[in-house]
Amino acid sequence: MRTQVGIVGAGPAGLLLAHLLHRAGIESVILEAKSRQHVEERIRAGLLEQGTVDILTETGLGDRLHREGLPHEGIELRFDGQGHRIDLHGLTGRRVMIYGQQEVVKDLIAARLAQGRPLLFEVEEVALHDLDSDCPRITFRHGGAETMLHCDVIAGCDGFHGICREAIPAGVLKIYERAYPFAWLGILAAAPPASHELIYARHERGFALATMRSNTLARHYIQCRPEEDVAAWSDDRIWAELHARMADRDGHSPIKEGPILQKGVTAMRSFVVEPMRHGRLFLAGDAAHIVPPTGAKGMNLAVADIIVLARALEAFYRGRGMALLDAYSATALRRVWKAQRFSWWMTSLLHRFDGADPFEHKVQLAELDYVCSSAAASLTLAENYVGLPLETG
Ligand code: FAD
Ligand code: DHB
């Protein structure tokens, strides 16, 4: 079997790459370890930057996104029991959109299948070979048969736990990493959202975020211990904690209760490998970097990597050589590090750090006050939140 670009992983990164390449007349094969149902039902991120919305719209994937997505023009930061609105649109002229990652994934899979292009689910034993040569190969098992896929280039879009990053010889990659002493307990509930905009709350009991998936589906997160056992969190305990962290000075909570449909704990980590390339293997998305979820940069960053990589591959196949592919890692990493900085900063601003001394505590509150009262500081938050301009090379 032969293709131009072998893509490992059918998350947002791999699927979008295949979609952009197809539109540029470049062939690819996507290999995915899980079933279609599994990847379509995996609940993860939900907030799309305007640049992410724009690329999906421009490439024919905007119909359901604009019908069902919820555009947002501001967010609320809540501390000391008081809400402060950050007017994202007024400050930047840009919006964000609530539309679940799994909905983006469903739209991309539907488009790929409608194009009749190869997307293989439940592939096993994926291994990469000859990455230093001009004809790298992928071996895998599918439907009981061993297959070899010859490629010009391999895109490693297989997420944080994938095999592509591990296929790079020891000593090549430099790893930058930070673990956080907390995690998020996330719920999906059949309840209206707490408010028409997202609420990020800093509270003595810990951070809480009230977001949504639709006007009848609320998504909420609360800061918890990294090793937290979901079983220890009854529905009543979750609602009580959300009310406590979201309440205003009069004790009124904006949270509306309803049946909890799903619960899960998400670890918090910052992680980057450099370079995002080895020979003919290019890493993109979570395979190369992870951000803590505060500020919702994870999926948007995967999309930005892919735009840069797709343009570089298009230049390569149009006979313009390797220059943009050679620049891919450095170009992508400039944005990755700015998103890392922002996600780390939003996380530090809003979470409860056990062991923080009273001075650090006061500095955190002063920073929140500054962000909400200074036009310059509000703009700094807003321009990062809606997504910095895309640099492609
Ligand atoms: P992934 O979506 O991880 O896709 C990788 C794909 O590769 C998967 O389908 C996987 O099955 C497949 N794969 C893995 N190994 C192999 C293999 N050996 N062979 C073939 N296929 C393989 N971000 C936010 O911004 N906000 C959030 O609220 C948020 N919540 C999250 C909650 C959870 C539980 C997790 C795990 C992540 C969350 N993220 C969030 C991050 C965001 O979802 C990711 O940044 C995004 O999914 C990255 O897309 P990706 O395509 O790079 O990787
Ligand atoms: C969502 C998640 C985030 O981490 C965030 O900062 C905003 C929204 C969400 O799942 O909707």
ipTM: 0.97
* pTM of the full structure: 0.97
**Is 178-267 in the same CATH topology as 5-46+100-173+275-354?**
no
Backbone angles phi, psi at 347, to 5 degrees: -65, -45
Looking at 173-265, list the stretches that DSSP marks H as alpha helix, in order from N- to C-terminal side.
Answer: 235-246
Q: Which residues of the chain have pLDDT under 50?
A: none
Domain residue ranges in the chain: 5-46+100-173+275-354, 178-267
HSE value, Cβ hemisphere, 13 Å, CA-based, for 139: 6
Residue nearest to atom 9 of ligand 2 (CA): 46
| CATH architecture assignment, domain 5-46+100-173+275-354 | 3-Layer(bba) Sandwich (3.50)
Q: Could you tell me the two tokens for 96?
A: 């964000």
Strands (E), the chain: 5-8, 28-31, 47-49, 70-72, 75-79, 82-86, 96-98, 119-120, 124-129, 137-142, 145-150, 153-156, 174-189, 198-202, 208-214, 217-224, 260-274, 277-278, 281-283, 289-290
Residue 374 CB partners (closer than 8 Å, separation 6+): none
What is the structure's pLDDT at 221? Answer: 98
Query: pLDDT tens, 228-255?
Result: 999 999 999 999 999 999 999 999 999 9
Cite the active site residues.
72, 200, 293, 297, 385
The residue type at 240:
A
Q: Reduced to 3 states, what is the DSSP secondary structure of residue 270?
A: strand
Mean pLDDT for the chain overall: 97
CA–centroid distance, 293 to ligand 2, in Å, is: 7
For residue 312 and ligand 1, the question of a CB distance below 6 A is answered with no
| Ligand in nearest proximity to the CA of 139 | 1
Verify cis geometry, omega within 30 degrees of 0, for the bond prior to 275.
yes
Whole-number Å distance, alpha carbon 328 to ligand 2 midpoint, is 28
pLDDT at position 179: 95
pLDDT at position 68: 97
Long-range CB contact pairs, 211-215, < 8 A, 24+? 211/46, 211/47, 211/98, 212/46, 212/70, 212/98, 213/46, 213/98, 213/100, 213/188, 214/68, 214/70, 215/70
CATH architecture of structural domain 178-267: 2-Layer Sandwich (3.30)
Question: Which residue CA neighbors atom 2 of ligand 1 most closely?
Answer: 11
pLDDT of residue 391: 81
What would the pLDDT profile of 151-176 be if each residue is shown by its tens digit? 999 999 999 999 999 999 999 999 99
Phi and psi at 357, nearest 5°, equal -85, 170
> Token digits for 140?
């895998």
Centre of ligand 2 from the C-alpha of residue 202, in Å: 15
Residue 169 to residue 175: CA distance in whole angstroms: 13
The sign of the CA dihedral 13, 382, 59, 212 is: positive
CA of 213 to the centre of ligand 2 (A): 10
pLDDT at 392: 75
> Residue type at 187?
I
**In testing the pocket of ligand 1, which one of 38, 99, 158, 187 has its CB within 8 Å of the most ligand atoms?**
158
For 12, the token pair is: 């947002």
Cβ of residue 297 lying under 6 Å from some atom of ligand 1: yes
